[in-house]
Amino acid sequence: MTYDQADELIRSDPKNGEALQPYVIGKDLNQRPDCSASRWVINFRDWPLDRAEEYPDLIDIVRRLVKPKRDTNKREQRRKRWWMYAERAPELYAAIADLDHVLALSLVSNAVLPVRVPTGQVFAHRCAVFARDGFADLAVLSSSIHASWVIRYTSTLETRINYSPNDVFLTLPRPENTPELAELGKRLDTERRELMLGRGWGLTTTYQHHVHNPADRDPAVVKLREIHTAIDHAVLDAYGWALDPEIGHHPTKIGTRWTLSPQARFELLDLLLEENHLRHDQERG
């Protein structure tokens, strides 16, 4: 439902606000300047039916619009628990219960970048949600080091990637967080948010049409590139690697990007793979 529809339900009965939440989809993260949810949903979580019925306005909507479809679902549990989300991801929401923010990115995107968004929302299954809110983590996952690993080890479609957390997040041997990374992550979040809100740009527009565009010399865009360059150097320093990243506009499998040179990426991926194997061997004892 729209924000206005949710707002009307809450104004008619403030108790409805307990079961209404913003619903974030990948398109919101990619295209909205504030990365906010464009719609709201009724979320009864794992509540029993008698508790859901304490919200008569909301259960009536679900009974009218959802139950008829669930009644024909092949899965018995989905027919029996028609008022609940089919994919509730309880482990995720338990993991982020004590966080005010999380890092999230669209699984299908050209940007390959997370954004820092508030919790208290329902995230669509096409969003990758990282149960961490630190600015150092934001910096590492916003680096060309992370992007290079992702582009190498996940599937691509034209100029977009299909982000697979199991293939590229869990396997990436991340460096130790440092105060410098935390400072740069906060700068990135602040400067990028100001730019996107001021220009009305979403994440895709900001990067695909401006940051990664060699012809764009807008001072605000140049400043954002400089922050990303500093992040890349800080991440390499955190690994302890003396690698010259030769950062600039370079070709990649998903188009021209502000990133490491092809030769530097080749060397980087070798180092990351070696580190991945080393940590795997250490974990095995």
By C-alpha distance, which of 147, 140, 206 is closest to 175?
Answer: 140
Mean pLDDT of the chain: 95
Whether the pLDDT of residue 86 is over 90: the answer is no
Per-residue pLDDT tens over the stretch 134-191: 999 999 999 999 999 999 999 887 788 999 999 999 999 999 999 999 999 999 999 9
The answer to whether residues 145 and 278 belong to one domain is yes
Q: What is the pLDDT of residue 159?
A: 84
* Pairing of the two strands 160-162 and 108-109: antiparallel
Confidence band (pLDDT; 50, 70, 90) for 280?
confident
Among 47, 63, 86, the domain-final residue is 86
Q: Is residue 118 part of a domain?
A: no
* Pairing of the two strands 122-123 and 127-130: unpaired
Tally the domains of the chain.
Answer: 2
pTM of the predicted model as reported, rounded to 2 decimal places: 0.92
Q: Which domain holds residue 174?
A: 134-284
Partners of 39 in beta bridges: 23
Say which residues have a Cβ less than 8 Å from residue 266's Cβ, sequence separation at least 6. Answer: none
Q: What is the pLDDT of residue 39?
A: 96
Confidence band (pLDDT; 50, 70, 90) for 9?
very high
Q: Is residue 253 part of a domain?
A: yes
Among 56, 86, 116, the domain-final residue is 86
Among 86, 101, 120, the domain-final residue is 86
Can you say how many angstroms the Cα of residue 179 is from the centroid of all Cα atoms in its chain? 23
Q: Is residue 122 part of a domain?
A: no
Q: CB–CB of 150/168 below 8 Å?
A: yes
